[in-house]
Structure 1
Amino acid sequence: MRNSKEKMATKKDLSSEEIESIFKVLKSRVNKSQERFPKLSWSDLKSKLEQDSDKLWSLNEMERTGGEPNLLEYRSAINEYIFCDFSKESPKYRRSLCYDREALESRKKYKPADNVKDVASKMGIDLMNEVEYKKLQSIAEFDTKTSSWLETPENIRKMGGAIFGDFRYGQVFIYHNGADSYYAARGFRGILKI
């Protein structure tokens, strides 16, 4: 029992090599986004991340699962950085998942390995909502061959549905599906506020 508690306590620890690697990747991406954030200081962002190892671990998880996290927004008035998955397609290692635990448990046959709400929670991130997804899509074209589950309004979820988005025919589409559905080409994009 003691060993499992020790594993839980250190679960979110990154090695010095992992920390160096994620900082190198993030610095490169943020610097390439400088036209969107001309007043942003990488050293200020790095300092803030160094003070929050859980958030840094979450960014590393986003990277590890194919999300290619980058800065979506910087709210200077409150010094808040908002990261999301910038991978061209829905993150590769977060696909073939139904929407939430309720949907997973409702499936009698052919259950997926997990659900997006629980996976996001384990990663310490939130699901991207419709507004955030459209903001991402205003920067470039994403999900041209895949789709991504999005945070679903409660009234839709209560009726058994969930929403997802993609980019087809030159525009962003937001659709609905049964929350218990899952597809090899549908994953989810996360949001992390720091």
Structure 2
Amino acid sequence: MSSNKIALSSVEKQELINLLKARFEKNMDRHNGLEWISVEAKLKNNSEKLWSLNEMEKTGGEPDVIGYEKGTDEYVFFDCSAESPKNRRSICYDQKALDSRKENKPANSAINMATEMGIDILNEEQYRALQLLGKFDTKTSSWIKTPDEIRNHGGAIFADYRYGNIFIYHNGAESYYAARGFRGALSV
């Protein structure tokens, strides 16, 4: 997590909670059986996670509750923007990939940004679960957590939704495209 985090003011916290509540109520099919009052209680008791959710929102992720983990008593938020979050695109996969570029370096990497925001990048299983909730990344793609055996060979994987199917594919980790970003997950 970034050491230069700025805490949200009480007004900012309430504005974010109100926005998240409105999104929660608008998209009840994403979280059947869950009640906002329980989610809100968790949020109000966790300023650090609220800060991370605010970062997700500021970068275009439109975070929403997608589930509840009974074992850890945590609500799970995913970026639910229709396309890969707008302010997290044109980035390579990780710091190693960023360092390997000698020219035309992107501004950042997916893993660095996720770490700075205090969130996790979605893995393949999570990405597939997200696609059960709607159609996401129909015009963009999103880096997803890459297994070490792929990353050790210089590659990274990304996903998108085309032709009624989820596609998982590979690219050099140092590549970056205007239509590729990443989606995050956060447990509260």
Taking structure 2 as the reference length, the TM-score comes to 0.94
Q: Give the aligned length.
A: 187
2:103 to 81, 101, 109: 109
The AA in structure 2 aligned to 1:177 is N
Distance in 2 separating the partners of 1:110 and 1:35: 42
Q: Could you list the per-position Cα deviations for residues 136-183 of structure 1 after superposition, in whole angstroms to 9, with x for gaps in the alignment?
A: 111111101100000000100000000000011111100000000000
Distance in 2 separating the partners of 1:49 and 1:55: 7
Displacement, 1:18? 1.4
Whether 1:118 and 2:102 are equivalent positions in the alignment is no
SS in 2 for 1:139: coil
Q: Out of 106-115 and 14-23, give the one that drifted further.
A: 14-23
Displacement, 1:43? 1.7
The AA in structure 2 aligned to 1:163 is I
Matches within 5 A, 1:19-168: 19-168=13-162
Q: Tell me the residue number matched to 1:190.
A: 184
Q: Out of 16-25 and 58-67, give the one that drifted further.
A: 16-25
Taking structure 1 as the reference length, the TM-score comes to 0.91
Give identity over the alignment, percent.
55
| Structure 1: gaps (5+ residues) | 1-7
> Which structure has the bigger radius of gyration?
1
Judge conservation of contact 1:148–1:164 (CA < 8 Å) in 2.
yes
Whether 1:11 and 2:15 are equivalent positions in the alignment is no
| Structure 2: gaps (5+ residues) | none
Q: Out of 113-122 and 38-47, give the one that drifted further.
A: 38-47
Distance in 2 separating the partners of 1:50 and 1:10: 21
Distance in 1 separating the partners of 2:162 and 2:61: 20
Distance in 2 separating the partners of 1:35 and 1:130: 21
The AA in structure 2 aligned to 1:85 is D
RMSD: 1.5
Distance in 1 separating the partners of 2:155 and 2:127: 18
Distance in 2 separating the partners of 1:37 and 1:126: 20
Question: Cα gap change, 1:13/1:177 in structure 2, threshold over 3 Å: closer, same or farther?
Answer: same
Judge conservation of contact 1:144–1:166 (CA < 8 Å) in 2.
yes
Distance in 2 separating the partners of 1:143 and 1:36: 17
